[in-house]
Structure 1
Amino acid sequence: MTFQFILEFAWVFIQIAIGYNLVLPFFLLLLYAIIGNRKRVIQSEKKEADYAIIVTAYEQTTLIPSVVASLLKLNYSNYLIYIVADKCDVSGLHFEDERVIVLRPEHTLSSNTRSHFYAIERFKRPHERLTIIDSDNLVDPDYLLALNEYFDLGYKAVQGVRDAKNLDTLYAALDGARDIYYHFYDGKVLFNVGSSATLSGSGMAFTTSLYKECLGRLDITGAGFDKVLQKEIVGRGNRIAFSEHAIVYDEKTSKSDQLVNQRARWINTWFRYFKFGFGITASGILRLNWNQFLFGLILLRPPLFIFLLLGLFCLLLNLILNPFAALLWVLGYVIFIGGFMMSLIMSNTNPKIYKSLWGIPKFIFYQVMSLMSVRSANKRSVATKHFHADKKTE
């Protein structure tokens, strides 16, 4: 075995490891088209399950009144709202509704899971289920009813849709496009082909017992608690359901510096936790578990802009080394772009998002800047600063 052979083999392996990310969504879409949406819609006559709605805030409480107003309009009666105001001034947070409990930790927590368990340890009653909402979210009135459809089918974890609340800037619209892509492939398609939806940080719900079982002994700091949580859930043999009608309206990044700071934390999170994919994929192979195998492959996938840029590098290099391979890369990009557009077309996308697609290179540029800041990501604020003027709920 010559050194040249080893080098050529390594080059082919690297290209496959990068290139399969371009075509995997297309093959998942084909499988989804064959299998179809297999969710059984049931008419549940069960008593309303008891929910704890945990709203986490760090440093900012400006949007909390709108969040609470939205939650109090839910078409549901059996729930309490726990606001964990970490490192916040709560002097202006006064709610007449007894279903709203404001918690102000004595010491700074600086952690999503610490905030969650701070609330859990102070539950007013033993809630059967909990759902996590960010301080910048609004919720659809049927949010809990949509979650119940999947809990009543036996699932213990459900991810909803984080729809865009603001599309007023180029960055917000592109951020919305990215979310649509991930919700479609990592949510709807992935779940309907027999695997699990990936968790998105908010707009997700669990049985309280499962959440405590998965994270009760762990102290997770920095961004990425959802990555640890999904690994624990799928590793235990559970599937995470996806509910396209459980909608939360999420604040999208509207400024370039906001985008850089947020993506630096997210990229740092991927580098910290992508290793989970190896173990889950291996477990899926050993146990012949399709859910774990496919979910593990998804966890190994780099952020979109990283594999797109790496693929472009391979394409350009192959123009010199191997024109046929370059042609394959071009084909891969055509398939990826087609799959990306299909996710938008099949998701009732706002026209503002289509109009923003010309700005994708600019969006990628700022994410490259985020990559340069990834080492110091967790030293930045643990919460994204929002500048969008929130609209009061009617």
Structure 2
Amino acid sequence: MSIRIIIEIIDLLLWIIIAGNVFYVLFFALASLLPKKKKTLPSSIIHQPSFLVLFPAYHEDVVIIHSIESFLHQEYPKDLFHVAVISDNMSDETNQHLASLPITLLCPNFEKSSKAKALRHAISSISHHTSSAYDYIVILDADNIVAPDYLTQLSTIAHPSMAIQCHRTAKNADNDIAALDGLSEEINNSIFRKGHNRIGMSSALIGSGMCFDYHWFCANVSKLDSAVEDRELEALLMMQGVHIHYAEDILVMDEKVSSSDNFQRQRLRWMTGQVQAFLQMLPSLPKAVITGNINYIDKTIQQALIPRSILLVLTPILCIIATLTSSIYHLPSIIYHLKWWFTLALFIIGLYIAIPNQLRTKVVLKKATVLPRLVWRMATNILHIKTSNKDFIHTVHNK
């Protein structure tokens, strides 16, 4: 086999992988532009639901007190919601302050901490100390801030056959990294949540700002066992046919990472969880194909996608390599390297469409100059991914 044929085969295989990722992004970015469908609420909802609000907090002394005190100003009836903090490895001073608030404070002692363990501990502990169940459970991160009418908004759309992912958005953009992190999340919101819901498919979960039926969550929380529990929750919901609604108008303000070290640590956690989720979901994929479970198939595909930031740097590099190779070996440009440049153009268009209008500014786009450095740090994470690792990788908050 000649070198030219080998090069053409490798080129085609690489292009199929990259093009598949690009077309996925473009399709759902375009879908996010479709008009929002009006939801008709079930007539069976005749009362205000009750909420259990969980704040898993691991080494979150810097932010947890402010978040809890802010949440306690909810305008919702006080007897219809209760806040619980799972304090893991926080200081005595922080715990004493939290204990003085009208909340439940749980202080587990895990040998190895994880958010999944914290959630399991909370449900196990609270179910033994309350005589009546709640209607829904809400999960927020220790740094999350919500509006005073947050629970009121949730109460108007929540019903038992639906899980809810709220619109998590940046509460800080104090430097280029934080701004880029916030921009990345908004792009993901458009593609994996808004775009999916617009065509009737389930939204992806993010890890916080989530709302579930209380009984469903209690029955399934014991199954969580990986580094990224939101992907496990997605798989469980998809297997059981529970739709995930994206509440794009209900905001959850989330602190974005502002240092490259935190960015790398956070992405390592996400990439590890993505690989683990893909391996866990793969065995059930044939059944999903046979039964026509489109949402499960889609979620499995999502776990195999290349991160958008890496794709944004990798694709131009492959375009240049294809162009140079085509020139050296006198390959037909239309078949060989022009398809790469066309794919890159489609990718850029897809990302631009996915960026909310208010963020399409020169100031925000200029912050993308830090992207190559961050992508390099993300790429080095690949060497540290361990599919069997279930340790919690903590993102440190700045004071």
TM-score by length of 1: 0.86
CA contact (8 A) 1:146 1:243 kept: no
Equivalent residue, structure 2, for 1:326:
337
In the aligned structure 1, how far is the partner of 2:42 from the partner of 2:143? 32
Equivalent residue, structure 1, for 2:189:
183
Runs of 4+ in structure 1 over 6 Å off:
1-7
Instruction: Tell me the CA shift for residue 115 of structure 1.
Output: 0.7
Equivalent residue, structure 1, for 2:235:
231
Instruction: Tell me the CA shift for residue 306 of structure 1.
Output: 3.5
**Percent identity among equivalent residues?**
23
In the aligned structure 2, how far is the partner of 1:169 from the partner of 1:69? 27
Asked if 1:337 corresponds to 2:348, the answer is: yes
Asked if 1:58 corresponds to 2:64, the answer is: no
Structure 1 pair 172–33 and aligned structure 2 pair: CA distance change class (3 A)? closer
More moved, 203-212 vs 274-283: 274-283
Count, aligned residues: 384
Equivalent residue, structure 2, for 1:385:
396
Equivalent residue, structure 2, for 1:127:
134
In the aligned structure 2, how far is the partner of 1:279 from the partner of 1:5? 35
Equivalent residue, structure 1, for 2:380:
369
* 1:274 match: secondary structure: helix
CA contact (8 A) 2:56 2:87 kept: yes
CA contact (8 A) 2:225 2:390 kept: no
Equivalent residue, structure 2, for 1:80:
82
Asked if 1:114 corresponds to 2:117, the answer is: yes
The one-letter code sitting in structure 2 at the alignment partner of 1:37 is: K
* 1:121 match: secondary structure: helix
Equivalent residue, structure 2, for 1:18:
18
CA contact (8 A) 1:52 1:131 kept: yes
Structure 1 pair 280–106 and aligned structure 2 pair: CA distance change class (3 A)? closer
Query: 1:39-50 alignment to 2 at 5 Å?
Result: 39-40=38-39, 46-50=46-50
Query: 1:279-318 alignment to 2 at 5 Å?
Result: 282-318=286-322
In the aligned structure 2, how far is the partner of 1:138 from the partner of 1:43? 29
Query: 2:174 pairs with 168, 171, 178, which one?
Result: 168
In the aligned structure 2, how far is the partner of 1:141 from the partner of 1:376? 40
Structure 1 pair 381–70 and aligned structure 2 pair: CA distance change class (3 A)? same
Equivalent residue, structure 2, for 1:220:
225
Deviations 1:308-334 (A, max 9, x none): 444345323322145323212212222
Instruction: Tell me the CA shift for residue 103 of structure 1.
Output: 1.0
Instruction: Tell me the CA shift for residue 145 of structure 1.
Output: 2.8
Equivalent residue, structure 2, for 1:360:
371
CA contact (8 A) 2:182 2:256 kept: yes
In the aligned structure 1, how far is the partner of 2:110 from the partner of 2:298? 41
CA contact (8 A) 2:67 2:144 kept: yes
In the aligned structure 2, how far is the partner of 1:291 from the partner of 1:376? 24
In the aligned structure 2, how far is the partner of 1:144 from the partner of 1:352? 34
In the aligned structure 1, how far is the partner of 2:358 from the partner of 2:165? 16
Structure 1 pair 74–245 and aligned structure 2 pair: CA distance change class (3 A)? farther
Deviations 1:323-377 (A, max 9, x none): 3232122122222212212222346668753342233223322322333443599
In the aligned structure 1, how far is the partner of 2:388 from the partner of 2:60? 19
RMSD (Å), alpha carbons:
3.1
CA contact (8 A) 1:265 1:377 kept: no
Query: 2:162 pairs with 156, 159, 164, which one?
Result: 156
Deviations 1:236-282 (A, max 9, x none): 12221100122211111111111122222222222222235645654
* 2:208 match: secondary structure: coil
The one-letter code sitting in structure 1 at the alignment partner of 2:60 is: Q
In the aligned structure 2, how far is the partner of 1:377 from the partner of 1:171? 30
CA contact (8 A) 2:56 2:140 kept: yes
Instruction: Tell me the CA shift for residue 208 of structure 1.
Output: 1.8
Equivalent residue, structure 1, for 2:146:
139
Equivalent residue, structure 2, for 1:392:
none
Structure 1 regions of 5+ residues with no counterpart? 390-394
Query: 1:274 pairs with 258, 273, 278, which one?
Result: 278
Structure 2 regions of 5+ residues with no counterpart? none
